[in-house]
């Protein structure tokens, strides 16, 4: 089966049906960036519980459906504007960035490009340097070109090599500069608001596959957790070479994030058998009466 990585998806907001569909479509590994939850958090404890979910329950839940789950840790740009709370989160982050499965600091950067966003973006770039992790940059939806260029300028001010930085949510306006400066250029296939699959295919045709990454950023909004395999299928239909599809929908994400030392292809090429009888903190992905899937057993139906 063709293999895909979705290197930006917020699966804490997705269902087990999504996990099953993703695995059937060939998605073998995912990366879940820490981000906001649709409304502002008001207490540092809610960040602590959320970060714990990313390295705990969600990693376990993905495994029950044959997908390897990684995550990134960071204070998102939206909530950086609550300065007293952001300062508390910055004290919390060092406790999580070294956890198993954490492959980058992110997603960080700019939203409204405020002074507070700049302050906490810079602090997290320094944290990434300290722990030798890649950085995942969130580029703003408003004034994207200015925000994207500023994100790279500030990263360079802090001495991060572009090869350790993934710039996400690119479009036709930003891609050339990002690639010319040596960064990884990630693209979000998100209905109506970011990139569509057709536009993504045209970018790969024009620029080639080097350092280009396709992701879904599927979350609690109208989004598609199968955006990566669907885009790959469209690329194939449009005559894009198989190797270019493999690089943009699998290999480039693996190369970029394996720099963390936490992501290894063997994690899914030689996985542990699925056993849905397992529990995490006493909890199961199953509910009463459901039959667990156990690989290597006659118990296979849910």
> Domain with 70 in it: what CATH number?
3.20.20.140
Residues 95 and 244 occupy one common structural domain? yes
Average pLDDT over residues 67-83: 97
Q: What is the mean pLDDT of the chain?
A: 94
Q: Residue 193: what pLDDT?
A: 67
Residues 155 and 290 occupy one common structural domain? no
Per-residue model confidence as pLDDT tens digits over 204-239: 999 999 999 999 999 998 899 999 999 999 999 999
Residues 76 and 218 occupy one common structural domain? yes
Residues 162 and 226 occupy one common structural domain? yes
Average pLDDT over residues 21-35: 97
Per the model's pLDDT, the better-predicted residue between 242 and 196 turns out to be 242
pLDDT tier at 182 (50, 70, 90 boundaries)?
very high
Q: Residue 288: what pLDDT?
A: 75
Tell me: pLDDT of 65 over 70. Answer: yes
Average pLDDT over residues 130-151: 96
8 Å CB contact between 287 and 276: no
Average pLDDT over residues 4-18: 96
Average pLDDT over residues 270-297: 84
Per-residue model confidence as pLDDT tens digits over 246-268: 999 999 999 999 999 999 999 99
8 Å CB contact between 235 and 204: yes
Residues 28 and 74 occupy one common structural domain? yes
pTM: 0.94
Backbone angles phi, psi at 85, to 5 degrees: -70, -40
Per the model's pLDDT, the better-predicted residue between 211 and 39 turns out to be 211
> How far apart are alpha carbons 13 and 50 in whole angstroms?
12
> How far apart are alpha carbons 168 and 148 in whole angstroms?
9
Residues 243 and 126 occupy one common structural domain? yes
CB contact set of 129 (below 8 Å; sequence gap of 6+): 158, 159, 160
Tell me: pLDDT of 37 over 50. Answer: yes
Residues 171 and 288 occupy one common structural domain? no
Residues 244 and 282 occupy one common structural domain? no
In DSSP notation, 212-274 reads EEEE----SSS--TTHHHHHHHHHHHTT--HHHHHIIIIIHHHHHHGGGSS--THHHHSPPPP
Q: Residue 301: what pLDDT?
A: 47
Residues 63 and 150 occupy one common structural domain? yes
Residues 225 and 298 occupy one common structural domain? no
Average pLDDT over residues 189-204: 86
Q: Residue 302: what pLDDT?
A: 44
Residues 287 and 222 occupy one common structural domain? no
Average pLDDT over residues 53-66: 95
Residues 173 and 256 occupy one common structural domain? yes
Structural domain count of the chain? 2
Of 125-134, 186-195, 219-228, which has the strongest mean pLDDT? 125-134
CB atoms within 10 A of CB 186: 27
pLDDT over 70, % of the chain: 97
Domain enclosing residue 161, as ranges: 4-271
End-to-end CA distance of the chain: 22
């Amino acid at each position: 089966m063709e293999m895909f990585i979705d290197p930006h998806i917020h699966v804490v907001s997705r269902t087990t049906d999504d996990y099953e569909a993703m695995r059937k479509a060939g998605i073998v590994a995912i990366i879940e960036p820490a981000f906001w939850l649709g409304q502002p958090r008001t207490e540092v404890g809610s960040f602590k519980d959320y970060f714990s979910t990313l390295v705990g329950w969600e990693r376990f839940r993905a495994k029950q459906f044959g997908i390897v789950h990684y995550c990134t840790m960071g204070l998102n740009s939206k909530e950086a504007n609550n300065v007293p709370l952001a300062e508390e989160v910055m004290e919390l982050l060092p406790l999580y960035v070294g956890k198993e499965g954490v492959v980058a600091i992110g997603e960080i950067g700019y939203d409204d490009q405020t002074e507070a966003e700049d302050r906490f973006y810079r602090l997290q770039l320094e944290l990434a340097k300290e722990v030798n992790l890649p950085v995942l940059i969130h580029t703003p939806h408003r004034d994207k070109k200015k925000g994207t260029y500023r994100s790279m300028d500030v990263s360079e001010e802090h001495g991060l090599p572009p090869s350790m930085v993934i710039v996400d949510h690119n479009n036709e306006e930003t891609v050339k500069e990002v690639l010319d400066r040596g960064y990884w250029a990630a693209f979000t296939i998100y209905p109506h608001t970011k990139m569509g699959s057709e536009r993504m295919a045209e970018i790969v045709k024009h620029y080639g596959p080097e350092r280009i990454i396709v992701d879904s950023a599927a979350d609690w909004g109208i989004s598609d957790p199968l955006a990566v395999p669907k885009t790959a299928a469209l690329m194939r239909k449009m005559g894009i070479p198989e190797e270019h599809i493999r690089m943009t929908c699998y290999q480039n994400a693996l190369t970029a994030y394996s720099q963390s030392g936490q992501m290894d292809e063997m994690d899914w090429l030689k996985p542990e058998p699925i056993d849905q009888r397992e529990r995490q903190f006493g909890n199961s992905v199953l509910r009463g009466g459901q039959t667990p899937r156990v690989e290597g057993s006659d118990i296979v139906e849910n």
